[in-house]
Chains A and B, each alone.
Chain A
Amino acid sequence: MNGVSASDLVLLLPELILVGTCLVLLLAARPIQANRAVPLALVGTVLAAVAAAVASGWLLSRGAATGFGGMFRVDGYSQFFKLLITATLVLTALFSVRSIEDEKLPRAEYFVLLLLASTGMMFAASALDLLTLYLGVELMTLCAYILVGIRVERPKSNEAAIKYFLLGSFASALLLYGISLTYGVTGATDFGGIAQALSEGDGENPILLLGIVLVAAGLAFKIAAVPFHAWAPDAYEGASTPVAAFLAAGFKAAGLAALGRVCLIAFHTESQLLSMALTGLAALSIIVGSLMALSQTDMKRLLAYSSIAHAGYALLGLIAGTSEGTSATMTYAFFYVFMTLGTFGVVIALGERGQKLDGYQGLAVQRPVTAALMLLFLLSLTGIPPTAGFVAKFVVILSAVRAGHTTLAVVAVVCSVVSAFIYMRVAVLMYMKEPEEPAPSRIPMAISAALGLAALVTLIGGLFPGGLTSWAVAP
């Protein structure tokens, strides 16, 4: 291992931009808090995210590279997820305008936490070493604990944050023990070294198996796959809606990125064990997520269970342990992020009324455009063509069938039909009921713009299904 050079630091450019913006926002927190008219922090965050996205693209155009003694990897895979994470950051920041105003959140700190969490996610997507993986994942989770509990005066928010914190720290301890056991058996923490030690090793070692299972469990917690999902509905309900959207979209993307690289590079010799574990996680997530969503009346809880089911679908691609399968998961993650952010965006746009399922009654009469957008996102979440959700579900289920998991594919399709009931219930309320509540107040510009962007990607993704294939390349 050699020292850190300037060329190593260049690889960190997108992350450095985000962290630099954090520092500026923190230093300027007081004027930002005092100046109510101009959303300075919002503009800064969006600009930083765009700059980070451009920097990610520029790094990719220079070709794949590894830095920091083999701990940090920049390649098509990592930059794909980084673009996705910056998109999540931009949309979340735009969605936040109203809740910051209404709930009197500390605006500089709120955006700093969003930026830092995104930095952690980017680190996790680029991690080529268990140490960087752990640090990235912890950075994003630590920021998320505060974001969930940022409405300090609300008991519900306190409760959600405490529950999330206790379960999250517990999962981190499991992940760490897994990392430690893997290190003890293989003598390496970098993914390449682990893979080499495993291929030379004499096979079955119970300590190693325990280590791999613990690492997979710790990462499964981050994407809220069953049975590590208990935190998600509580955290989403207790958090303000933009934060819930950020957790649902960003955490899934970063967790899947980390899980994909760990499965495909570090532990690829143990693909049998991993495939078994992931099959269980995927099947349970899809079934439990779809069934539990059926009885929900709180919109954020409903979307939380829906996001759990979607985590299961995304895992279908990783089961195969091939690059085609991983690229299917990448496609799924991409479209999932936009359609979920879009759905949450409509919930945010409706304000208090959007929190409860009954609030959607007669929305089509009062706000035809918002209702039409919601319908588009719901169709996409169900997986009906010509929306991006169909393309996403199609590629992951195809990958499961190719890997020989036909039963699992049948379960996925059946649960997809069950989930149609959940999403169409909202559509029926919007289009076939008379409005009972007064029309929601005007939607701020920023939220409309973000909704439009999410809808655009959801539509284009469905109309040009091949558009992503050249981008979604496995590591």
Chain B
Amino acid sequence: MIVPMSVVLGLSAVLFGIGLFGFLARRNIILMFVSIEVMLNAVNLSLAGFSWHLGDPRGQILALFVIAVAAAEAGIGLGLVIALNRNKPGAGVADLTQLKW
């Protein structure tokens, strides 16, 4: 392997951390959603890396499924955001205060 496994694993951990931080720090629904996508892609990277390292195709197959599910998730998420925007134009996470405790 050209790139050592530890580097792949480290890169995916850093990416996952960036996504995690973005999800917790952002207050815009779309950007929070993008952060989740970053986390999913970090997982895909680690899956592909492990798969290469182990010489076993299962990890890459899993990554393909993750991509498909992430696409479905994106469709649903954006649909929900559009539905929210029809009722409350320009709403962010800070405006979601009707349901509490």
Binding site for B on A (CB under 8 A): 130-131, 134-135, 138, 142, 145-146, 149, 152-156, 158-163, 165-166, 169-170, 172-173, 176-177, 179-181, 183-184, 187-189, 233-234, 237-238, 292, 295, 301
Map CB proximity to A onto B43-71 as digits: 1 under 8 Å, 0 otherwise: 10011011001101011011001100100
Q: In the complex the two chains form, is A159's CB within 8 Å of B76's CB? A: no
Q: Which residue of B lies closest to A186 (CB)?
A: B54
CB distance from A173 to the nearest CB of B (A): 4
Q: In the complex the two chains form, is B39's CB within 8 Å of A177's CB? A: yes
Q: In the complex the two chains form, is A162's CB within 8 Å of B80's CB? A: yes
Map CB proximity to A onto B10-48 as digits: 1 under 8 Å, 0 otherwise: 001000100100010000010011001001101100110
CB distance from A180 to the nearest CB of B (A): 5
Q: Tally inter-chain residue pairs, CB-CB below 8 A.
A: 120
CB distance from A264 to the nearest CB of B (A): 22
**Complex Cα distance A154/B99, Å?**
13
Q: Contacts of B99 on A, CB cut-off 8 Å?
A: 156, 159-160, 163, 233-234, 237-238
Contact (A183, B59) CB under 8 Å given A135-B65, A165-B77: yes
**Complex Cα distance A379/B13, Å?**
49
CB distance from A305 to the nearest CB of B (A): 10
Residue in contact with B62 in the complex, picked from A166, A172, A189, A292, CB distance below 8 Å? A189
Q: In the complex the two chains form, is B101's CB within 8 Å of A233's CB? A: yes
24 A-B interface contacts by CB (under 8 A): A135-B65, A142-B72, A142-B76, A146-B79, A154-B87, A155-B88, A158-B80, A162-B29, A162-B81, A162-B84, A163-B96, A165-B76, A166-B23, A169-B77, A176-B40, A179-B43, A179-B62, A181-B46, A183-B47, A184-B50, A184-B54, A184-B59, A189-B62, A233-B101
CB distance from A240 to the nearest CB of B (A): 14
* Most chain B CB neighbours (cut-off 10 Å) among A146, A156, A183: A183
Q: Contacts of B76 on A, CB cut-off 8 Å?
A: 142, 145-146, 165
Q: Which residue of B lies closest to A292 (CB)?
A: B101
Q: In the complex the two chains form, is B84's CB within 8 Å of A166's CB? A: no
Q: Which residue of B lies closest to A1 (CB)?
A: B58
Q: Which residue of B lies closest to A150 (CB)?
A: B83
Contact (A166, B43) CB under 8 Å given A183-B62, A233-B101: no
Map CB proximity to A onto B71-100 as digits: 1 under 8 Å, 0 otherwise: 011001101110110111000010010110
CB distance from A151 to the nearest CB of B (A): 9
Q: Which residue of B lies closest to A132 (CB)?
A: B65
Q: Contacts of A237 on B, CB cut-off 8 Å?
A: 99
**Complex Cα distance A131/B61, Å?**
9
Residue in contact with A159 in the complex, picked from B19, B56, B98, CB distance below 8 Å? B98
A131-B58, A177-B46 given; 10 more Cβ-contact pairs under 8 Å: A146-B79, A158-B84, A158-B88, A165-B76, A173-B36, A173-B39, A176-B66, A183-B58, A184-B53, A187-B54
Contact (A177, B80) CB under 8 Å given A155-B98, A160-B99, A187-B54: no
Q: In the complex the two chains form, is A180's CB within 8 Å of B81's CB? A: no
**Complex Cα distance A289/B80, Å?**
28
